Amino acid sequence: MLDQIKKLFGFGPTTDLAEVMQRGGVIIDVRTPGEYASGHIKGSTNIPLASLSGQLAKLKKDKPVITCCASGMRSGSAKSMLQAHGFKEVHNGGSWVNLKTLEK
């Protein structure tokens, strides 16, 4: 059951996110503007989950995307949304704090 929940929210096998970034990946932080202002990954873009569907045109579907938030739940939802809209490579990075090593 736990494995199914992890898969549903994009917490599957780990991906080398540093390699994804080397290939031109972008980090989308889906937390609120207030959360983002309190700390974020340098070079990331803040698009809150609540407004993501209306801002998809700002993103390139053929570029790798890493989503992040506070815990990984919203970023898992964002990953699913992006994939449903035709984004080819999307990774749930989980908590933004865990991605600090990817800072530009």
State the CATH number of the domain containing residue 28. 3.40.250.10
Strands 65-69 and 45-46: unpaired
Return the pLDDT at 7.
53
Return the pLDDT at 20.
94
Q: Which residue has the tokens 């991605």?
A: 99
DSSP one-letter code for 24: T
User: With the C-alpha atoms ordered 100, 34, 80, 58, is the resulting torsion angle positive or negative?
Assistant: negative
Digit-coded pLDDT (tens) for 4-46? 555 556 555 468 899 999 999 999 999 999 999 999 999 999 9
State the residue range of the domain holding 74.
2-10+17-102
Number of domains the chain is built from = 1
Q: Which residues are catalytic?
A: 69
- The answer to whether 48 and 32 have CB atoms below 8 angstroms apart is yes
pTM exceeds cut of 0.75: yes
